[in-house]
């Protein structure tokens, strides 16, 4: 079902309303200050629309894993300060998640202003999806906007629970601007009729990505495999992988995928190997059938890079998740960088290129190409679950456009 989004609501319906917004303000903190404000910036479009329309915003988010109790190092207070600087609308912070202090602060806040509540995960009911906690927030507002795509794959009190509580009161629960954009591109990639459709899957483990691989295999023309995950496929082909990272109990699975996928699955033909996974280790380039002894595969090799780049260059729709090697170490980042550049070049020539996954997004940033991609998802787990065809509770709980 197509979900309603904030842009489906007339600004006149927002004026004078109290709007509950669940954002993903889960940013890294360093010594009580925000060290990377990307997620705060990503939430600004939704907040600006609401403030400009003359709504009062009650903003909720989690930060870190405080395990259901108040812990000062996970306070959203530094986020409120940074948000105020960026938004240029007054942002008030309440050091409570719910209850009387919150109700008073909300009543006290003027239209066009934002009040940020304390970290939702300070309350144990958040991750338990406690209906009473959801109800206490629902009582504060007239409309709910869920913009927290990164937590959409979890049913928590401030996400799915709050949407349900609002809708049971006859109110709207809609997707925010960021959430709607994520859904448009991630669902769009699967529905794009254009071909060739190519997927690139890398990263550490098959086991965390089996859902994505199985869902993509029947849809794509090519599935390029890199990263440590390729090692498990090498073993399925009977190759020696030396001392590389291999998921022994996923070898049979890899064999089944190769049988099912046939020519669709494209594995690396050469690799960068080193005796140790550290920057100074003496690295060599070897064909995939020459890996042996103490070798650890740390990146895809140059022949693989140019093969992958050629295939990426022919594609019209590209989904990429997972680095091609240990990209955190500069000598082993070349494979990931060359894939990132190939995807960016394809996007420059009109292909649709969508990237999901936290480490892959960091790699694209590091390669300096993130801004050239059609879409870089902000939700790691959520984007993979969506691509794998799962229904995300944070999305499923929103109002559908048909209900209008
Ligand atoms: P994402 O967050 O984009 O979904 P993953 O979390 O699945 O990606 O995988 C990223 C991790 O995989 C990185 O920390 C990277 O170092 C590791 N990795 C990739 N290739 C290898 C390899 N050949 N050997 C060991 N680790 C690898
Ligand atoms: Mg990761």
pLDDT one-digit tens code per residue, 47-57:
999 999 999 99
Tell me the pLDDT tens digit for each residue of 353-371.
Answer: 999 988 999 999 999 999 9
pLDDT above 90 covers a percentage of the chain that reads: 91
- Ligand 1 contacts CB of residue 336 (under 6 A): no
| pLDDT for residue 90 is more than 90 | no
- Tell me, yes or no, whether 26 and 140 share the same domain: yes
- Tell me, yes or no, whether 334 and 254 share the same domain: yes
Separation of CA 212 from chain center: 14
- Ligand 1 contacts CB of residue 295 (under 6 A): no
Evaluate whether residue 251 is within a structural domain. yes
Section 219-223 average pLDDT: 96
In the residue annotation, 381 being an active-site residue is answered as: yes
Section 98-106 average pLDDT: 97
- Tell me, yes or no, whether 171 and 223 share the same domain: no
Q: Which of 150, 202, 377 to mutate to test the pocket of ligand 1 (most atoms within 8 A of CB)?
A: 202
Domain that holds residue 288: 192-387
Count up the domains in the chain and report the number: 2
Domain end (from 130, 151, 180): 180
Going by alpha carbons, the residue nearest to atom 25 of ligand 1 is 228
Q: Catalytic residue among 3, 22, 39, 235, which?
A: 39
- Tell me, yes or no, whether 206 and 152 share the same domain: no
Evaluate whether residue 100 is within a structural domain. yes
- Tell me, yes or no, whether 298 and 382 share the same domain: yes
CA 130 vs CA 41, 136, 148, 291: distances in Å? 29, 10, 18, 53
Evaluate whether residue 396 is within a structural domain. no
Tell me the pLDDT tens digit for each residue of 32-42.
Answer: 899 999 899 99
- Tell me, yes or no, whether 263 and 372 share the same domain: yes
- Tell me, yes or no, whether 44 and 158 share the same domain: yes
Rounded Cα distance between 320 and 343, Å, is 9
Tell me the pLDDT tens digit for each residue of 254-286.
Answer: 999 999 999 999 999 999 999 999 999 999 999
| pLDDT for residue 404 is more than 60 | no
| pLDDT for residue 192 is more than 60 | yes
pLDDT at residue 32, as a whole number:
86
- Tell me, yes or no, whether 172 and 196 share the same domain: no
- Tell me, yes or no, whether 174 and 198 share the same domain: no
CB contact set of 61 (below 8 Å; sequence gap of 6+):
22, 23, 24, 25, 26, 76, 79, 116, 119, 120, 148
Domain end (from 180, 205, 223): 180
- Tell me, yes or no, whether 168 and 55 share the same domain: yes
Q: What is the CATH number of the domain that holds 328?
A: 3.40.50.1260
Rounded Cα distance between 301 and 282, Å, is 15
Domain end (from 149, 180, 211): 180
- Tell me, yes or no, whether 235 and 369 share the same domain: yes
């Amino acid at each position: 079902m197509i979900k309603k989004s904030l842009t489906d609501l007339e600004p006149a319906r927002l004026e004078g309303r109290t709007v509950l917004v669940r954002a993903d303000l889960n940013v890294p903190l360093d010594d009580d200050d925000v060290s990377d404000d990307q997620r705060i910036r990503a939430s600004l479009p939704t907040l600006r629309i609401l403030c400009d329309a003359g709504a009062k915003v009650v903003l909720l988010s989690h930060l870190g894993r405080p395990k259901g109790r108040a812990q000062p190092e996970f306070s959203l207070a530094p986020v409120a300060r940074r948000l105020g600087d960026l938004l240029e609308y007054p942002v008030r912070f309440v050091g409570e998640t719910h209850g009387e202090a919150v109700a008073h602060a909300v009543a006290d806040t003027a239209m066009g202003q934002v009040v940020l509540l304390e970290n939702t995960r300070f309350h144990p009911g958040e991750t338990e999806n406690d209906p009473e906690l959801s109800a206490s927030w629902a009582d504060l507002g007239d409309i709910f906007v869920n913009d927290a795509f990164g937590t959409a794959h979890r049913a928590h009190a401030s996400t799915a629970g709050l949407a349900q509580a609002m809708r049971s009161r006859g109110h709207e629960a809609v997707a925010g601007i960021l959430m709607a954009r994520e859904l448009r591109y991630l669902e769009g990639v699967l529905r794009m009729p254009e071909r060739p459709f190519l997927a690139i899957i890398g990263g550490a483990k098959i086991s965390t990505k089996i859902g994505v691989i199985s869902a993509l295999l029947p849809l794509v023309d090519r599935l390029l495999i890199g990263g440590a995950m390729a090692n498990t496929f090498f073993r399925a082909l009977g190759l020696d992988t030396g001392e590389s990272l291999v998921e022994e109990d996923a070898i049979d699975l890899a064999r089944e995928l190769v049988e099912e996928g046939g020519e669709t699955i494209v594995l690396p033909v050469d690799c960068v190997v080193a005796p140790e996974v550290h920057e100074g280790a003496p690295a060599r380039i070897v064909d995939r059938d020459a890996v042996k002894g103490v070798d650890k595969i740390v990146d895809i090799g140059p022949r693989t890079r140019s093969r992958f780049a050629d295939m990426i260059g022919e594609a019209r729709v590209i989904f990429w998740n997972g680095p091609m090697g240990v990209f955190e170490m500069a000598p082993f980042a070349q494979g990931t960088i060359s894939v990132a550049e190939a995807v960016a070049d394809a996007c420059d020539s009109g292909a649709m290129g969508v990237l999901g996954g936290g480490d892959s997004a960091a790699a694209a940033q590091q390669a300096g190409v993130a801004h050239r991609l059609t879409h870089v998802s902000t939700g790691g787990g959520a984007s993979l679950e969506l691509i794998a065809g799962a229904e995300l509770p944070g999305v499923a709980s929103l109002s559908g456009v048909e209900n209008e």
